[in-house]
């Protein structure tokens, strides 16, 4: 069983879902959602994996539209809901013929909470630490079929399993820059005879204000340059009780991008480029992930 780069991209999107503030693009933030306040986020995530050394010459692509709604239960406790729509395609050569396996539909929804444990505010700056925990529900189809039969797990819209995840995010924000660090762990549970390996993530983000160089009166809009890093380690999958030699491994992505922040909305985009991919066996390596989105405060 090969790791699904598409699912990995969606997982990154879901872990970024709490980042509905002016904040990192690929991960959470510890900045607040005000009590009784709603914030929304929409993202498009496109993942491409190809250049397969294997004889099957696999080419995997996935596009996800991810909708996120955040609600501040109090100024310290926030609740987030995430619903992805996924469109996946795996092209490969089977018995000399090129075949295409596809699926599209709602993916697995997630719900998680975040609590601000540490809040140190000073004029023009803040430091916050917020643990978070949540569940991913198997709302996506995990038995999708095309004319060739049941599509492989990497093409299914859903995983078929309830997963749990948790972690902690720390944020330091000033007028000039913002730095975020996140550590998280995801327990991925068994479904359809496959027990996917658990996932450990270490992420970092730096946003530097490029414009305006000098702050004027009132509330000016900000243009940030963004650089993020995503370290992911996945254990091997187990299939019918045995380790899958072509699954799991370690990756590191670097993500440069831009973010434009106004009082009520944000637009942003990054490209996630793989710099390290130590994947087991013939697992398919990622070429890039494109991520663009908006956030809205209403």
Partner 1 sequence: MKRIVLVLIGVFWLSLAAWPADQEVVDVSVSGLACPFCAYSVEKSLGKLPGVDSVSVDLAANQVRVVMQAEHTADLKQIKKAIVNAGFTPGEASRSTAQE
Kindly report the length of the chain: 298
CB of 123 to partner 1, least distance (A): 4
| 119 contributes a contact to partner 1 by CB under 8 A | yes
Structure tokens given for 136: 């991913």
| 213 contributes a contact to partner 1 by CB under 8 A | no
| 211 contributes a contact to partner 1 by CB under 8 A | no
Instruction: For residue 96, give every residue at least 6 positions away whose Cβ sits within 8 Å of its Cβ, in sequence order, or none.
Output: none
CB of 29 to partner 1, least distance (A): 10
CB of 264 to partner 1, least distance (A): 6
| 122 contributes a contact to partner 1 by CB under 8 A | yes
CB of 172 to partner 1, least distance (A): 10
# residues near partner 1 by CB under 8 A: 40
Contact 93, 63 (CB under 8 A): no
If DSSP codes are grouped into helix, strand and coil, which group holds residue 287? coil
| 22 contributes a contact to partner 1 by CB under 8 A | yes
Q: Name which position in 50, 54, 72, 81 contacts partner 1 (CB under 8 A).
A: 72
Contact 287, 48 (CB under 8 A): yes
Q: Name which position in 97, 149, 213, 217 contacts partner 1 (CB under 8 A).
A: 217
CB of 262 to partner 1, least distance (A): 6
Nearer to partner 1, 265 or 288 (CB): 265
b/e map 129-164, b = 16+ CB within 10 Å: bbbbebebebbbbbebeeeeeebbbbbbbbbbbebe
Using a 10 angstrom Cβ sphere, with 0-12 exposed, 13-18 middle and 19 or more buried, the burial of residue 178 is: buried
Q: Name which position in 73, 117, 124, 245 contacts partner 1 (CB under 8 A).
A: 124
DSSP letter, residue 136 = E
Give the x-and-dash track for 141-180 against partner 1 (CB under 8 A).
--------------------------------xxx--x--
Alpha carbon 166 to chain centroid, angstroms? 14
| 28 contributes a contact to partner 1 by CB under 8 A | no
CB of 73 to partner 1, least distance (A): 11
Contact 106, 85 (CB under 8 A): yes
CB of 81 to partner 1, least distance (A): 19
b/e map 43-60, b = 16+ CB within 10 Å: bebbbbbeebeeeeebbb
| 264 contributes a contact to partner 1 by CB under 8 A | yes
Q: Name which position in 33, 82, 170, 279 contacts partner 1 (CB under 8 A).
A: 33
The Cα 186–Cα 220 span in angstroms is 38
The Cα 53–Cα 57 span in angstroms is 7
Residues that bind partner 1 (CB under 8 A): 21-22, 31-37, 72, 74-76, 116, 119, 121-126, 173-175, 178, 215-222, 261-264, 266, 295, 297
């Amino acid at each position: 069983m090969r790791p699904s780069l598409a699912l990995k991209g969606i997982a990154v999107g879901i872990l970024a879902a709490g980042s509905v503030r002016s904040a990192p693009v690929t991960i959470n933030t510890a900045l607040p959602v005000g009590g009784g306040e709603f914030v929304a986020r929409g993202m498009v995530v496109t993942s491409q994996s190809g250049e397969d050394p294997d004889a099957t010459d696999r080419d995997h692509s996935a596009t996800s539209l991810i909708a996120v709604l955040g609600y501040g239960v109090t100024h310290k406790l926030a609740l987030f809901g995430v619903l992805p729509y996924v469109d996946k395609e795996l092209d490969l050569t089977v018995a000399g013929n090129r075949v295409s396996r596809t699926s599209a539909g709602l993916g697995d929804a997630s719900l998680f909470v975040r609590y601000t444990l540490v809040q140190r505010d000073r004029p023009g700056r803040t430091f916050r630490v917020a643990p978070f925990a949540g569940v991913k529900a198997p709302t996506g189809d995990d038995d999708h079929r095309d004319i060739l039969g049941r599509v492989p797990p990497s093409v299914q819209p859903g995983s078929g399993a309830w997963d749990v995840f948790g972690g902690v995010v720390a944020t330091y924000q000033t007028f000039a820059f913002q730095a975020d660090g996140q550590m998280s762990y995801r327990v991925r549970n068994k479904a359809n005879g496959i027990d996917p390996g658990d996932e450990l993530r270490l992420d970092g983000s730096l946003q530097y204000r490029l414009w305006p160089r000098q702050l004027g009166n009132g509330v000016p809009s900000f243009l940030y340059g963004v650089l993020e890093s995503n370290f992911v380690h996945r254990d091997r999958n187990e299939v019918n009780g045995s380790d899958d030699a072509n699954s799991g491994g370690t990756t590191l992505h670097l993500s440069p991008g831009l973010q434009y922040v106004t009082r009520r909305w944000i637009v942003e985009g990054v490209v996630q480029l793989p710099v390290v991919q130590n994947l087991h066996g013939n697992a398919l390596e990622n070429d890039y992930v494109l991520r663009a989105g908006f956030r809205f405060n209403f």
